Amino acid sequence: MVPIAGDEDEPGMRGYGPATYGDGFADVYDDWYADVSPPDATARFVADRTTGPVLELGSGTGRLAGPLRAAGVPVVGLDASLAMLTRSVDRHPDVPVVAADMAELPVRDGAFGAVLVAFNTLFNLPTHALQRRCLTQARRAVRPDGIVVVEAFVPGAGGDEQADHVDVVRLDADRVVLRVSRTDPVRGTVHGHHVDLRDGQPVRLRPWQVCFVAPDALDDMAAAAGLAVEDRHGGWGGERFDAASDAHVTVYRHANGHG
């Protein structure tokens, strides 16, 4: 289990802000990440548990918000990246979007039936303190009978030493994409770049970072925010979660059933 540090956590890369990831990946996100958080399965999972409205944090290009809206569930997308939100509006003009930091939600108390935080989006916040803040804000945003749905990977067993990695993400005749990362398992952080090399074009750096926690530690953070686990699955299809699961989809509700 990765220990949770306090508010003194290092924020990560110098110059990295709430919009950095989205601005860096907006033009390739739908191509590179089409298979994560399968849109139709995700929409069904959420639609089976709430009539909405749903607030999706880190909604990006609208890849999940669009199918949710098509399933008849009102949804609002929220992202700090204008580059991402511009693509969302172009693809799904019927889905309203808000440009904001997901750790500081500009919404009324109890305005939503659900908050959705898919595909490690919670881990994109660079410190555990900000993650706790986000969960507290999510709890405030949902009605007393509302839910907060979080998808995240399960950290593997790591050593105590910092590790650097370089691997090939894409290899075409005229393009190479390398992933360069530094993992600190003690702090529970990974900082990295996708280095995009195209023939005849300038090098493009696409920075990213995650600050991860194990499911039980995430539950502790949620409890501190006033949320309790309702159920946990190994995927959006309702798969069983067990010790072999490499990801989880967890549904939280207001602790003690009240706001």
180-205 pLDDT tens trace: 999 998 889 999 999 999 999 999 99
Residue type, 40: D
User: In this predicted structure, what is the pLDDT of residue 159?
Assistant: 44
User: Residue 164: is it exposed, middle or buried by C-beta count within 10 angstroms (0-12/13-18/19+)?
Assistant: exposed
**Which residues make up the CATH 3.40.50.150 domain(s) of the chain?**
20-156+213-257
Closest among 23, 26, 70, 25 to 46, alpha carbons compared:
70
**Which pLDDT score is estimated for 163?**
87
Q: What is the mean pLDDT of the chain?
A: 92
Q: Is the pLDDT of residue 12 over 80?
A: no
Flag whether pLDDT at 7 surpasses 60: no
Specify the pTM. Answer: 0.91
Phi/psi at 223 (5° precision): -60, -40
Amino acid at 122: L
**Which architecture characterizes domain 163-208 according to CATH?**
Single Sheet (2.20)
| Residue among 179, 187, 201 at smallest CA distance from 155 | 187
pLDDT confidence of 48, banded at 50, 70, 90? very high
CATH 2.20.25.570 residue ranges in the chain?
163-208
Q: Which fold has domain 20-156+213-257?
A: Rossmann fold (3.40.50)
